[in-house]
Amino acid sequence: MKVFNYFLKLSLLTCLTLGASTFIYAQTLDEEAVTLSEQETARLRAILEQPIDPNSLKATQVEAYKQKQGAAWKLGDAVKQEEILREWMQMDTDVDPKWRLMSFLFHSTKRQEAYQLGADLIKIVKYPPAAVRIRATIADHYINDSNLKQAGVLLEEAGNLIKNEWSRVPRQGANAYWIVRAEMEFNLIKSYFLRRSGKWQEGIQTARLATQKGKELIGIDSLVDPLQRSFGRSWYMSAMAQLADHQSAAGLYAEADLSLREAYQFGKKNGFTDNQMLRIINGVAWLRNATGRFEDALGYSNRSERIVLAQGIQKGAPSWLYTQTPGTLALAGMDRWNEAAERYDAIDKEMERLKTRSPLAFQSWLRGPVYLHAGRYPQAKRIYENTLKWHVENFGENHYFTAYTRGMYAIALWRNGDPVGARTQFDQAIQNITSPDALTGDFTEDVFRRKGKKYIFQNYIDLLATTADKDAKDAAIIFQMADHLNSSSVQQALSDAAVRSGVNTPGLSEVIRKEQDAKNEAATLMSYITAQGSEGDKRRNPQVIEQMQQRMRELEGLRKEYKAQIQKGFPEYFQLIQPKAPSHTDIAQQLKPDELFVSILPMEKQTYVWAINASGKVNFHQWPVGEKDGAKLVDKIRKTLDVAGLGNKAPTFDYADAHTVYKGIFGPIESEMADKKHVIVATSGAFANMPLGVLVRQPVTSPNPSNAAWLIKDTAISQVPTASGWLSLKRYAKVPSSTQPLIAWGDPLFDNKVATQQIAGVIPKNTTVRSAIDTRSTLQIGLERSNEESYLAYSKIPPLPETRDEVNELAKILAADPKHDLILGADATRQSVLKSSASGQLGKKQVVVFATHGLLAGDLPNLNQPALAMASTANPADSPLLTLEDVLGLKLNADWVVLSACNTAGADGRAEEALSGLARGFFFAGSRSLLVTHWSVESESAMLLTTHTFAAYKKDPKIRRAEALKQAMVETMKLPQYAHPAFWAPYALVGEGGR
């Protein structure tokens, strides 16, 4: 899998993982003192000064030492605490004082002595559960010091103890508790070890086992005293947080959310306070940031801060700083840059008041972009000068992370009035970011990371735009940058699914697994090198860093070999996970004389538009409407399109804004469009959420919608997510089309009870407007809501019985056999799709139809990728979801794939990204184009559109797919009842619109 935005990941690593035993120690024996009253301070000092009678009973002395250690901890007196522990260990040969001193020293500069004490404890601890726990605890620290070899030895010893000695331990009384406690701690730290070793999936499985043991432990923790009960519950919370961290690091955000939600609900049920669940609450803040739910993230961050301050912890203390980071990040994510900068001012003020420094306070990875956006250019330049130097020294000149930092430094140079120096740094940064050695899918890019990369590209493009009208080379570079940006929004999910799908491909699977393991280990090493770099001088370990860097170099060499093998043996798979941005010449070579390729790139302050014709001529212009304003225009237009169900109450179409968009994008290139019969448009984001045929070329004066100068009247339009994806589709032009006309899945039954009714002959009827799913992603829901409230219930997905009529009409037009080519109702399962592909039948069909809903990541528990909702089955082990991963494994040779109920109306562009990912998945599987709906369609008009489209396509063997859809739209709008574009414009052709 991948590193989870390594800057963000570093903070997550610190606040969520810390090493498992590190967190437990930090929570129970934290070095930062709570604000104490004078009376309480005096009381604790009195305990420290009270002498211990050497002639008293041993139990009395032991209790006195425990009291003294507790007092020293509360006072924050580390020197006194160490002194007490050493005295206690001298008078008491039992394990307890030696174990406590070891734990204390592991969090000091005397780690070697701690390791020696640990070795002594391993020799003397014979009770099997304790023997397992001491080995796991020491292994945890070896992992933190990157001594994975020694950690592996200890964990193997612990595992053998569990295997061979467990049967000899009596299960009565507290023994039962300590057995489960040892298993939980062992599995938690083993999961940490597996993750550091690059085995992320195994790490997730082991962390999940640790959480299961944690639940079991809480069920029997009445067998031990309250203190140990508290420790055990803290371990359970640590296990849940670590599982969520594993999942987040792997980009499994929906699964991470479910883990955190389950932990929170479990804690509430068992009487945990917010204090005990601080890690969970703070973890949710980080997760919301990673998924772009910045407003929610800010709320959880503020809640964490209130918890910390209520404990009496001072502002400026480490725990307080932990709560500030996700809040500052959330403000940055919402473009509230000045507020974020003011937060840093407040942090700096507190650090000055306390006369202390902390890497948690500085955070160059976040402070740098905050200062850039807030206009504090000199401060930003100083930050990036230092961080770039550090990245070069630790990761090398050409590493992806170095390139990212160099891009930010280039922005700082430009904003400080050095365009020449900025251009030099930009050129190198972009070259390294987009090079084949830095796969797009190498690192899990959360929303903020993508935002940062886009900011780099945007500024580079803005700089090039000053010379593009005079320098053809600069203009060509801008075009390639646009395709990189359009790719990045969906590349993550696509790459993840491609890897999982490729694991099942003979010959490819072994090299993928090796490459993935090497990538995972490298990703983790990068986080820890960064963590070492952020430590204070006393905590840094140059020897460890050198060992990590050497291993990094070895892994990078291995990965280059693996990538070369993949690229040579499986070029199409490599292009899927590493799309190469084409040049305008590459595009022109694939165009026919009556075609025009238009690329649209919305940026922060303006939208860039390129038009390329078959001769290679490029028209480039800027529309002074930025991404946010463009999205507002699209949203206003769409509100007058998704209205088919309103009947006479439907609003008038927004002609004015549709004309504004047309003038901005297509107005300057009208002369190029004059003789073009087919326009191919590459874009992502808001403009991909709208069928561009509804744009109007002239101001509307007639009240009759059919008289408007709709763009679709003059030219056929097809849309593609990226230029590189469109070029990939051209390879299918040489593949003969399939000979069999159709296979269609329709009206899948999502509720088993309804399926039973269907068998009995009872089929419910629906309204004329197809139902749509209210996508309530759990990533938008609060922790307090139960899973039942948070997730979409599969059985409650709206049925689509009217799609039966549509697919039956298509079968008639295409001369298909309804008995064999239509799979409906309870038969429309995921397994039926996979079976059709495996048998080779799917690959013989020209037209493949999925008349069902689309689901987004987070709509269902553990759903981390877009999917199509197929019929449920009585067997809970059979997933009803045809996921993107499944799609990539299908064997198609289809001219069309029709998705007639997968609407792009979704929250914050998530649905558009999901549709784009599914589209590229179907293209890879062997489809040349997709016919998709943008909103909930009215059944009769939808049937007219599809039947007219395919009738035209069948009648004329030379007609373009885009032209067939255009003719269907024009014919449908001529009917007075369907003149509104809500009826004739819901479908868009995505992919290759030719023949």
Average pLDDT (35-43) is 80
How far apart (Å, rounded) are the C-alpha atoms in residues 936 and 431? Answer: 43
For the chain, what are the domain ranges? 380-577, 584-728, 742-753+800-854+865-991
User: How would residue 19 be classed by pLDDT, with cut points 50, 70 and 90?
Assistant: very low
How far apart (Å, rounded) are the C-alpha atoms in residues 579 and 485? Answer: 11
Lowest mean pLDDT of 14-28, 133-147, 332-346, name the range: 14-28
Average pLDDT, the chain: 83
| Range picked from 90-99, 244-253, 372-381 for highest mean pLDDT | 372-381
User: How would residue 531 be classed by pLDDT, with cut points 50, 70 and 90?
Assistant: low
Pick the more confident residue, 647 or 882.
Answer: 882
Give residue-wise pLDDT tens across range 404-444.
999 999 999 999 999 999 999 999 999 888 775 554 344 55
Give residue-wise pLDDT tens across range 753-787.
665 444 434 344 444 666 555 554 444 456 666 55
Average pLDDT (648-659) is 90
The CATH class given to the 742-753+800-854+865-991 domain equals alpha beta
Helix/strand/coil (H, E, C) string of 330-385? HHHHCCCHHHHHHHHHHHHHHHHHHCCCCHHHHCHHHHHHHHHHCCCHHHHHHHHH
How far apart (Å, rounded) are the C-alpha atoms in residues 357 and 537? Answer: 11
Degrees, nearest 5: CA angle 343-344-347: 90
Give residue-wise pLDDT tens across range 803-858.
898 899 999 999 999 999 999 999 999 999 999 999 999 999 999 999 998 887 77
Tokens for 16, please give them. 């969520």
pLDDT at 439: 42
Task: Tell me the three state secondary structure of residue 642.
Answer: coil
pLDDT at 196: 80
Tokens for 641, please give them. 């399109």
Using the predicted structure, report yes or no on whether residue 624 has a pLDDT greater than 70. yes
Give residue 917's identity as a one-letter amino acid code. G
pLDDT at 245: 86
What CATH topology corresponds to 584-728? Nucleotidyltransferase; domain 5 (3.30.420)
Give residue-wise pLDDT tens across range 559-609.
778 778 877 887 777 776 666 788 889 999 999 999 999 999 888 888 999
Nearest to 659 by CA among 683, 694, 635: 694
Lowest mean pLDDT of 16-30, 168-182, 720-734, name the range: 16-30
Average pLDDT (670-689) is 90
Task: Tell me the three state secondary structure of residue 600.
Answer: strand
Q: What percent of the chain has pLDDT over 70?
A: 84
How far apart (Å, rounded) are the C-alpha atoms in residues 790 and 621? Answer: 45
pLDDT at 843: 93
Give residue-wise pLDDT tens across range 279-289.
889 899 999 99
Task: Tell me the three state secondary structure of residue 676.
Answer: coil
pLDDT at 530: 65
Pick the more confident residue, 862 or 979.
Answer: 979
Give residue-wise pLDDT tens across range 44-56.
899 999 999 999 9
pLDDT at 441: 42
pLDDT at 762: 39
Q: Could you give the angle at which helices 226-249 and 278-290 cross, rounded to 10 degrees?
A: 10
Using the predicted structure, report yes or no on whether residue 726 has a pLDDT greater than 60. yes
User: How would residue 38 be classed by pLDDT, with cut points 50, 70 and 90?
Assistant: confident
Give residue 541's identity as a one-letter amino acid code. N
User: How would residue 386 be classed by pLDDT, with cut points 50, 70 and 90?
Assistant: very high
Give residue-wise pLDDT tens across range 151-167.
999 999 999 999 999 99
